[in-house]
Structures are given as C-alpha cells and as structure tokens.
Amino acid sequence: MQATDIASVILDIISTIAPDEDLSDVKPDVRLRDQLDLDSMDFLDIVMELRKRYGVEVPEEDYPKLASLDSCVEYLGPKLADK
Amino acid sequence: MSHYDAIVIGAGMSGLAAAIRLAMFDKRVLVVERHNIPGGLNSYYHKARRPFDVGLHAMTNYAPKGARGAPLTKLLRQLRIPWEALQLRPQHHSEVRFPGVTLRFTNDFEVLRHEVHRAFPAAADRFDRFVALVLAYDDVSLDAPQVPARPVLEEQLGDPLLVEMLFCPLMLYGSAVENDMEFGQFCTMFKSIFVQGMARPEGGVRTLIKLLRDKLTELGGELRFKRNVKRILTRDGRVAGVELEKVTGADAHVAPLPAGEDPVVLAPVVLSSIGYLETLGITEGVEVPPPEVYPPGRLGYMESILVLDREPRDLGIDPTIVFFNETDRFDYRAPDDLVDLRSGVICLTNNFAHERPLPEGLLRITSLASWDGWRALARPEPYAGAKDAWRAKQVEVVRRHFPPFEDHVVFTDTFTPTTVWHFTRHLRGAIYGAPNKVKSGLTPVAGLFLCGTDQGFLGIVGAMLSGISIANARVLQGAPA
C-alpha cells in the first residue's frame, strides 16, 4: 500500500466512525485530535477497524503513533506494505 | 456445548450496548435475558390495550446533532446509530419546586443560571464558580476517587436551600446513596439534566430498544429471552461460562431448558449488567461481601401512571417534568412508611415536542417507597388495596401542584419496588442499584466484568455508555484478535 492509500484508509475509517466530521481539509502534519472532534474511544475504533479490515495489530502503547495522518503513514507503512 | 467469545447477562440498555460493541468487532456474543422482552429497567408493556413505558421518563444528556464532545454524540458514534434515528423530541420546560421557591430549567442552561441568580442573588457568583468546577470534573474516568458530594456543595454554594434544590432532581433521577451522592455522579447528573437537558424519543423507550436490538441482530449478535442465569461458571479463578435455566409463565418460575438446548454455554468473557451483589451471588466459588462491606441499594419507588382523556396542556398543565419537595429539607432515603409523599417527580409525557400528538394524556407521579414495607404485604390483599390507597394519596399530591385533572383520569396503573424486583430481579427493587459503585467494572473473577447500574454511569445514555466503556476497556482494548 502506498502512502496516499494509507492516508485515505485512515480517512475512510474516520468517516465510518464519525460520519458528522468534515474530512475535506484534514492537514496531514497536524494532530487529528486538534482538527477533528475525536477522543480516545474514537481512536480505539480506528485501531479496531484496522484489525478488522487489514488484520493489523496496533498495541495500546503505539496509539500515540496514530496522532496525525503523516504519523499514521509512517507507522502503518511497514505493517500495510503487503496489503 | 455451545461456545461464544462473550456472554452478556441482561438485555437492558448497558447489556445491549456492550453486546453491540463486541459484535461490531466480530466477537461471537450471546445476550441472555430473564424477561421476555429487552430493556431491563427501561422497558415497556401493554395493559388495557394501551402501550406504556416503564423507567424512561425522559432521556437525559440531550444534545443536538453532531454536538462536539457531548455524551450523546459519543454514544451514537460508538453504536454507529444516526442521531436522526432516535427521533429525539426536546422537553418544554421543567421545574424544581420547593416551598416558596421554584427554579425553572430547559435544555438551555442559561435559563437555570438566570433562575438561580434571581432566586439566590447572594449565591450567584458562587453558583457560577461551582458550575465551572462541575464542568471541568472528570466524571467518566474508570478509576476516579469516590468523594461525597454534599460537603463539596455546602462549601462551594454556601446556601443550604440551593444545595437541596440542586440535589433534589439529581438524587431522584439517579442516586443510590441516601441523602448524598458521590461527587463524580453528581457532576454526571448535573451535566446530563441541567446542562444538556432532556428529550424523549418520538415513540418512547420502544424506539430506543428497537434501534439497539436491530443493530445487535444486524451485527450477528444473539439474544435469548426467558433464560435465567442459574450460575456463572468459573475455573481456577477465571470465568468459564454460564449455566442457564428457562423462565416460565407469569410467575417467572424457573425450569430446566427444553431438550436439545444445552444449559451450559461457555465463553472466556462474561459481562454482567444485573448488579454487583446479584452477580456475585450466582458466581461459583465467590464469597458475597456482607452488607456492612457492600450494602445493597435501599432506594425504591412507587410510580402511578394516570391516563387522561386529554392533553395535560388542555388542563393548564404545561411543564414537562416537575421535581418537588414540600418540606424545608429534602429527605432522600428509604421511607419509614410504605411511601414518602413529601417529595417526588411528576412527568407529563405529552409535554415533549412530539411531531404526532400522543393518543391520550399521560401523567406519571413517582414517590420514594419502602421495599421492606411493600415486600411484607400479602398478595393479593392487602397489597392491592394498599396500592390503590397510596395512588389516591399521590393524586392528592399532584392536585396540590396543578389545576383540577382528576375527572379526566380514564385509567391508572401502579408499580412498587416489588414490581421492579419481579421483572428485573434487581435486589430490593432498587432501580439505581447499590450505593458503592464499581467503576472499574472489575470483579474478583478474571474475565467477569460488571456493566450497568452498579458500574455507575447514570441515566439511559449513561447506562449505554457503561456497557460501551466496559466492553471497550476490558474486552476490545489490547485483546488479541
């Protein structure tokens, strides 16, 4: 999976769990929490969806690595390389 | 023997919400419910061909669509239910009535702030500072320290009557503690009732239950009704599953399961919504804590529903909910007599902004009642006669608050703490459970977790968030796929 694909996967998951959020202008280098109304329950759902859709495991101590789209791409890149 | 990833005991608001979360992430989940319909403490029934709700007067925690950070928004997201599906109809206005002072409130908090400033001008600044403290308090933490609310309110507000008037609706709508609340619970209730406000789904509790049930079924979750959990099975200190029996007939007798249905259902995780003592009481190899360590709940209610031949508004009754207290000090405790008429709640179901008017007028009056007193009365008499007599007294109380309506009553029905026990098996019919909440959801048995009333998030939205939080924290988070 390419970097742009990973970003769109994350945005697609966010649109599923938070359908009210406007995702048209999410800045990749800014923390998702700072631009969207997401809390720890929502981040759990992002992790659960990654597991459900791609079989990717994100241990709890790695949740901070999903802070922004850029950090998601960096962290998930190797895990999604062959997906 | 059948195997599941998780078993949920009780198909009330918290159990259904927990099961939805687990099923959403591909857990094989079974919900077992003793009654023949879901809902638990917030359910429904038919009598004289009329549909009635039980429990739900209003959904607290009202929030408009997409309100940022609101508990209702979080709840709907977690369950993936669209806001519109709840068909929430906001209240008109509600009141706290004490002798000589009335505070009105609506779903706009500024109305209450203005009312407090008007009625308690000397305490206005202190009230505003207190509100800021309540809003900032982290009341949803699963490991927050438990602090009594009364000393905090007395110190912060300085006016004993204002303290009582704020306590009155919050205690009546959720405190399992006599004459006090845990401060985190006070904050939860203050925000949910005064700051966020109240609404009713267009179709009442049925609308909500149908949404939850449909969602669970759509996700592949299973529900079994008329099944009592006889024992929670354990092995080497870990939960192993449950043993079921069948509930039969109107008297709710239990019997072995029909041939072909295995009474033993295994699962590595059991979430119980039936109460802490109720859960431990049926768990293998566990000692139930004595009352001095973990006392059972003491707060029960008698509620009468009066069906009117017209809308309450046509009789000059326009508030949605009135919380009243007729003495100087609000005394929130199990009454010495069968019922305590000095305080209570009057709910006018029609006075939410429904799109279609309800077919009849509905007035509910709810009063504190004694479990021990009602339990001691033989059936059918003198129990039935006592219900009629106390309902007549409740009507007199309502009459002191509103213009004449008695001639328009066409049907009545009444429940007591024993009715609640009969249908839910919550100890002593205590609808708010035991006073000591187990916020962590942990029990002495690994894999056995508590959600719902005794976990301690209050109200209908709170109950669902309880199921969600415990499912998230104890099952989904960090659990291997």
Q: Which residue has the tokens 């999604």?
A: A80
Nearest alpha-carbon partner for B462 in B182, B173, B186, B71: B71
Q: How far is B20 from chain A (nearest CA, A)?
A: 13
Mean pLDDT estimate for chain B: 95
Share of chain B above pLDDT 90, in %: 91
The mean pLDDT value for B295-303 works out to: 97
The mean pLDDT value for B193-197 works out to: 97
Instruction: Express each pLDDT in B9-30 by its tens digit.
Output: 999 999 999 999 999 999 999 9
Residues of B numbered 431-470 whose beta carbons fall under 8 angstroms of chain A's beta carbons: which are they? Answer: 468
CB contacts < 8 Å between A and B, how many?
A: 38
CA distance B308 to B360: 6
Burial category of B322 from C-beta neighbours within 10 Å (exposed 0-12, middle 13-18, buried 19 and up): buried
Angle between helices A40-54 and B71-79 (to 10 degrees): 10
- Is B78 within 8 Å of chain A by CB? yes
Beta bridge partners of B321: B94, B347
Q: How far is A56 from chain B (nearest CA, A)?
A: 9
Distances from the Cα of B56 to the Cαs of A80, B68, B205, in angstroms?
47, 25, 6
Q: Which residue of A has its CA nearest to B68?
A: A37
Q: Which residue of B has its CA nearest to A39?
A: B69
Burial category of B385 from C-beta neighbours within 10 Å (exposed 0-12, middle 13-18, buried 19 and up): exposed
Contact call for A60 and B477, based on CB within 8 A:
yes
* Per-residue confidence (pLDDT) for residue B478, from 0 to 100: 61
Q: Which residue of A has its CA nearest to B84?
A: A20
- Is B228 within 8 Å of chain A by CB? no
B186 phi, psi to nearest 5 deg: -60, -45
CA distance B193 to B424: 25
- Is B69 within 8 Å of chain A by CB? yes
How many other C-beta atoms are found inside a 10 Å radius of the C-beta of residue B232? 25
Q: Where in chain A are the domains?
A: 3-80
Contact call for A16 and B82, based on CB within 8 A:
no
Taking phi over 0 as left and psi of -120 to 50 as alpha, with beta for the rest, B288 belongs to: beta
Nearest alpha-carbon partner for B413 in B45, B37, B39: B45
* Residue B476 with chain A: CB contacts under 8 Å: 44, 48
**What are B252's two structure tokens?**
């709710």
DSSP assigned state of A22: -
Nearest to B68 among A37, A41, A44 (CB): A37
The mean pLDDT value for B422-440 works out to: 94
- Answer whether B408's CB lies under 8 Å from B361's CB: yes
Using the predicted structure, report yes or no on whether residue B480 has a pLDDT greater than 60: no
Q: Which residue of B has its CA nearest to A47?
A: B477
Nearest to A37 among B69, B82, B480 (CB): B69
Contact call for B73 and A19, based on CB within 8 A:
no
Contact call for A18 and B65, based on CB within 8 A:
no
Residues of A numbered 37-76 whose beta carbons fall under 8 angstroms of chain B's beta carbons: which are they? Answer: 37, 39, 41-42, 44-45, 48, 51-52, 55, 57, 59-60
Nearest to B477 among A17, A19, A44 (CB): A44
- Is B67 within 8 Å of chain A by CB? no
Q: How far is B85 from chain A (nearest CA, A)?
A: 14
Confidence of residue B481 (pLDDT cuts 50, 70, 90): very low
Instruction: Express each pLDDT in B220-249 by its tens digit.
Output: 999 999 999 999 999 999 999 999 999 997
B93 phi, psi to nearest 5 deg: -155, 160
B336 phi, psi to nearest 5 deg: -75, -40
> Can you list the residues of chain A whose pLDDT is less than 50?
none
CA distance B413 to B133: 42
Q: Which residue of A has its CA nearest to B479?
A: A59
CA distance B195 to B60: 10
Residue type, B223: L
3-state secondary structure of A81: coil
Whether pTM > 0.90 for this model: the answer is: yes
Nearest to B481 among A41, A44, A57 (CB): A57
Share of chain B above pLDDT 70, in %: 99
CATH number, domain A3-80, options 1.10.10.10, 3.40.1010.10, 1.10.1200.10, 3.40.50.740? 1.10.1200.10
- Is B87 within 8 Å of chain A by CB? no
Using the predicted structure, report yes or no on whether residue B426 has a pLDDT greater than 90: yes
Nearest alpha-carbon partner for B319 in B130, B124, B97, B118: B97
Nearest alpha-carbon partner for B276 in B29, B444, B460: B444
Nearest to B476 among A17, A19, A44 (CB): A44
3-state secondary structure of A77: helix
Contact call for B478 and A45, based on CB within 8 A:
no
**What are B261's two structure tokens?**
């249905």
Pairing of strands B101-105, B94-98: antiparallel
* Per-residue confidence (pLDDT) for residue A66, from 0 to 100: 95
**What are A53's two structure tokens?**
């859709």
Taking phi over 0 as left and psi of -120 to 50 as alpha, with beta for the rest, B459 belongs to: left
Confidence of residue B434 (pLDDT cuts 50, 70, 90): very high
